[in-house]
Structure 1
Amino acid sequence: MLSISRACFYLSTIFSIISFQSVFSQGLPPGEIDAAIASMAQSIDTAYVFPEKGQKIAAYLRSEHKRGSFSNAKNWKDLAAAISKSLQQFSQDGHLYVRNDPQTVKELQSPPQDQPDSTPQKVAFNPFFDGKDVVERNFGFREVKVLEGNMGYIKISEINISVKSLPILFAAMRLVANSKALIIDLRNNGGGGSNVGSVLESFFLPAQTPLLDFKTRNGSSHMEKTVDWLLEPRYEKPLFILVNQGTASAAEAFAFALQKHRRAKVVGRRSAGGAFMNSWYPVNEHLFISVSTGAPTLPGTNQSWEGDGIQPDYPVAEGAELTTVAGLLK
C-alpha cells in the first residue's frame, strides 16, 4: 500500500503533466500573435518596394489572420512557416518571408558595438555579413580549384562579400588567375549580397560599369556599378556561370549582369526568378520579417529576371554542365 505522502506526490506529478500538456496544446497566446501580425503588416505596408502591392499584401495578411488561418500555430517556428507560405502564395515574391531566429532578432535590435571600422566605406552591422556563423560558412566559398584542361573552378554557395570575405575572394581569384577559362558555379546559391560594392563583378568588367538600377518605393533609384578601388587584376579570359532552379537573388544578379554585358556565358537550367532586394525587420523577440525594398532593372531598360529567372545561353540537364563547358572550350 502506498503511503499518503507518496500517493500525494504521484497525484501532484500527474496533475503537473496534465497541466503542462494542456498549456502546450493551447499554442501561442492569441494576444502575442495579434501583435506579431500587426507588426508584420505594418512593415509590409510601409516598406514594400511597390506601395500599392504592399498595401494589398498587408491587407491580405490581416484578413487571413482575422479568419483564423494562423491560430493553430503551436510555436513561433510553426507560425513563421505558415505566414511565409501564405504570403508567398499570395504575392509570388520569394523575398517575402518570416523567420523564427531570436539571435538574428537580437542582432537587428541591438547590433554589436565592437565592429571594426576598416571598410572601404563605413557600413552598418548586418547579421548576414557580421553574424557569428558567417565564418563557419566560409562566406559561401566552398571549392576553388583548377580542373583538367586548365579550367578554373569556383563553387560559391552564397553571395557574401564584405571586408571579412575579401581576402578569401582575392585568394580564390589568384588561384585561378592562370587558367584558360573560369567556371563560377552558382547552382543552388540562394543569393545574399555585398556591403562593399559589386566587387565580384569588378573582376570581369571595367571600373564604374553600370550593372543594375535599383528603384525604391519613393521613386528614387540607386545605380549599382563595378567598384573603382579594386587593385587586383581583372580576369580577361572566357567566363562561364553555372545556374539551376536553386540559383536566386544576388546570385542571379551576378549572372544577369555578366550575361547582359556579354562577358559570360550562362550554362544550366533556368534560375529561380527572385530579383528583388530585401531588408529584414524585427517583429518581436522571436521573429523577423523579410520585405522586398528594391527592384533592380538593367540600366536604361525595364528588363529584370523577377519571375522569369535567368535563361541560360546553353540549357543542359542537371549534372552535364561541366562536360558542356569543356566541350565548348574545345
Structure 2
Amino acid sequence: MLTIKPALFCLSVVFFLLRCQCVSAQVLSSQEIGAAIAVIAQQIDTAYVFPEKGRKIAEHLQAELRKGRFSAVKNWQDLAGSASESLREFSRDGHLYVKYDPQTVQALRKPRQSDLDTASQAYNPFFDGKDAGERNFGFHNVKILEGNIGYIEISEINVSARSLPTLLAAMRFVANSRALIIDLRNNSGGGSDVGNVLESYFLPKHTPLLEFKTRNGSMQIEKTVGWLLEPIYEKPLFILVNKGTASAAEAFAYALQKHKRAKVVGQRSAGGAFMSSWYPVNEHLYLSVSTGAPTWPGTTENWEGTGVHPDYTVSEGTELTAASQLLK
C-alpha cells in the first residue's frame, strides 16, 4: 500500500496553491497586447478582400486599443475574445475573428506534406490535421430511409485527397436510392483543396458554380471538376439547412438551388459567404480574414448577410420529415 506522509502532503498542497495563484496573477502587459493588436490590424489591412473596408477595420481596431478596449484582458484567451467581438461589431463579417489556439498556430507554420502539393506550401490543419480523420471528415450519418430515400448528414465540408474515399463510399452507398436528402443543418462550412467534388456528383463537368473576387480585383470562376469518373446522381435532391448552416455549406446549397438541381428545405441559413484564410499572429493566436468574395457568375448576387432562402420554409426540427413528405 502506498502511504503519503502528512507533512509532505501539506507542503505539496501549499506549493500547488501558490503556483495556481502565481499563474492566475499573471496578466498580459500593455506592450504584449499592443504588439498583438498591431499585427492583427496590419494583417487585416493587407489581406482583407475589400481593401478600403480592410483599412477601416484596421483603423477601428487600433482606435479601440487607444481607447482602452483591451486594457482589462488578463490572458490570450481574453484578448482573442475581446478582439473578435470588436471586429465583428464593426465589420459584421462572421469570417473575421481571432482565436487562441497555440496548436493550430504551430501547425499553420509547418510545411505541408501532401501527394497533391509541394512541401513548400503551407500546412492546413483543417485538411491535414489528425482531427479531420477523427471527425470522419464531417460524414456523420449515411443511410437509406423508408421508401428508398438516401440520406447523408454532413457536419462540415472537408474535401481533400484524404477524404475522397469517404465521400466516394457515401455516394456509392446511396447510388441506387430513388431520391437523396443531404443534411447540412448546423454545418458551419469548411472547404475543398481538390476542387468542387461534392457539387460534381450532381452537375455536369465544368459547370460554373461561383465567381470569386480577390483583393487584387481578379476574378476566378469555380466549376465542377472534370476528372470525376463516378456517375452523376440524377434523381431528386433535397438539401436541409438552418440558421447554423454557413460558409461552404451555404455555397453548396446556393449553387445547386440556383442551378435548379436541388430543393432547399428548412430555415434561412447563416449568411456567411466570404472565403477566409488563417494567419498566425504570435505563438498563441491566429487570425481569420475574409480573402475572397463569391457571387453568382455574371452578377453581384451572393448570400452574404442574407443567407440562402429555402424553397420550403419549415419549422426547426421538422426539416427531415418535411423533405420526406415532399418526396412522397
Per the normalisation by structure 2, the TM-score is 0.92
Matched to 2:83, the amino acid is I
Match of 1:236 in 2: 234
Q: Aligned equivalents of 1:175 and 1:318: distance in 2? A: 28
The CA distance in 2 between the partners of 1:175 and 1:90, in whole Å, is 46
Deviations 1:125-181 (A, max 9, x none): 311100121111111000000001111000000000000000000000000001110
CA contact (8 A) 2:108 2:280 kept: yes
Equivalent in 118, 123, 135 of residue 137 of structure 1: 135
Contact 1:27 / 1:72 at 8 angstroms: preserved in 2?
no
Would you say 1:68 and 2:72 are equivalent positions? no
2:189 aligned partner:
191
**Aligned residue type for 1:192:** G
Separation in 2, partners of 1:186, 1:28? 40
Instruction: Report the Cα offset of residue 75 of structure 1.
Output: 1.3
Deviation at 1:235, TM superposition (A): 0.3
What letter matches 2:48 in structure 1?
A: Y
Please say if residues 81 and 99 of structure 2, whose CA atoms lie closer than 8 Å, have aligned partners that are also in contact.
yes
How far apart are residue 321 of structure 1 and its match? 1.2
Q: Partner of 2:224 in structure 1? A: 226
| Equivalent position of 1:181 in the other structure | 179
- AA in 2 matched with 1:77: Q
User: CA–CA distance in 1 between the matches of 2:308 and 2:20?
Assistant: 51
Question: Are the aligned partners of 1:123 and 1:195 in contact in 2 as well (CA < 8 Å)?
Answer: no
The aligned amino acid for 2:293 is A
Aligned residues with identical type, % of pairs: 69
Shift of 1:196: 0.2
Are 1:302 and 2:283 counterparts? no
Alignment of 1:117-266 (within 5 A): 117-118=115-116, 124-266=122-264
SS in 2 for 1:214: strand
Check 1:24–1:322 CA distance in 2 against 1; reply closer, same or farther (3 A cut): closer
Residue 276 (structure 2) pairs with residue 278 (structure 1):
yes
| Aligned mates of 2:158, 2:246 — CA distance in 1 | 13
- CA displacement at 1:26 relative to structure 2: 5.1
Deviation, 1:20, is 6.9
TM-superposed CA distance for 1:25, in Å, is 3.4
The offset of 1:329, in angstroms, is 1.5
Q: CA deviation at 1:24?
A: 3.4
Indicate how the Cα distance of structure 1 residues 84 and 166 shifts in structure 2: closer, same or farther if over 3 A, else same.
same
Q: CA, structure 1 residues 124+74, in 2 after alignment: closer, same or farther (shift >3 Å)?
A: closer
Q: Would the alpha carbon gap of residues 22 and 125 (structure 1) be closer, same or farther in structure 2, given more than 3 Å must change?
A: closer
The answer on whether the counterparts of 1:214 and 1:223 sit within 8 Å (CA) in structure 2 is yes
* C-alpha distance in structure 2 between counterparts of 1:293 and 1:65, whole Å: 24
Rounded to whole Å, the distance in 1 between the matches of 2:243 and 2:24 is 39
Q: Structure 1: how far apart are the matches of 2:125 and 2:229? A: 28
Contact 1:214–1:294 (8 Å) recurs in 2:
yes
Match of 1:80 in 2: 80
Q: Is the 8 A contact 2:109 2:123 kept in 1?
A: no
Alpha-carbon deviations, 1:111-134, whole Å to 9, x = none?
35xx23247xx9753111001211
Structure 1 unaligned segments of length 5 or more: list them: 1-5
Tell me, what secondary structure is at the counterpart of 2:132? coil
Which residue does 1:116 correspond to in 2?
114
SS in 1 for 2:220: strand
Task: Work out the CA distance in 1 between the residues paired with 2:71 and 2:25.
Answer: 12
Q: In structure 1, what residue type is equivalent to 2:261?
A: R
**Secondary structure of the residue that 1:189 maps to in structure 2?**
coil
Question: How far, CA to CA, are the matches of 2:105 and 2:148 in structure 1?
Answer: 45
Separation in structure 2 between the aligned mates of residue 75 and residue 162 of structure 1, nearest angstrom = 35
Are the counterparts in 2 of residues 87 and 96 from structure 1 also a CA contact under 8 Å?
Answer: yes
| Number of aligned residues | 315
**Which stretch of structure 1 is more off in the superposition, 71-80 or 289-298?**
71-80
Q: Which residue does 1:3 correspond to in 2?
A: none
Structure 2 unpaired stretches of 5+? 1-6
Q: CA deviation at 1:323?
A: 1.6
Task: Give 1:197 shift.
Answer: 0.3
- Give CA deviations for 1:59-107 in whole Å, capped at 9, x if unaligned: 0100111111112111111111111111111100000001111111111
Task: Tell me whether 1:58 sits opposite 2:58 in the alignment.
Answer: yes
Letter paired with 2:141: E
- Cα distance in 2, alignment partners of residues 82 and 118 from structure 1: 38
C-alpha distance in 2, partners of 1:310/1:89? 22
State the distance in 2 between where 1:199 and 1:184 align. 15
**RMSD after superposition:** 1.9
Distance 1:20 1:321 in 2: 49
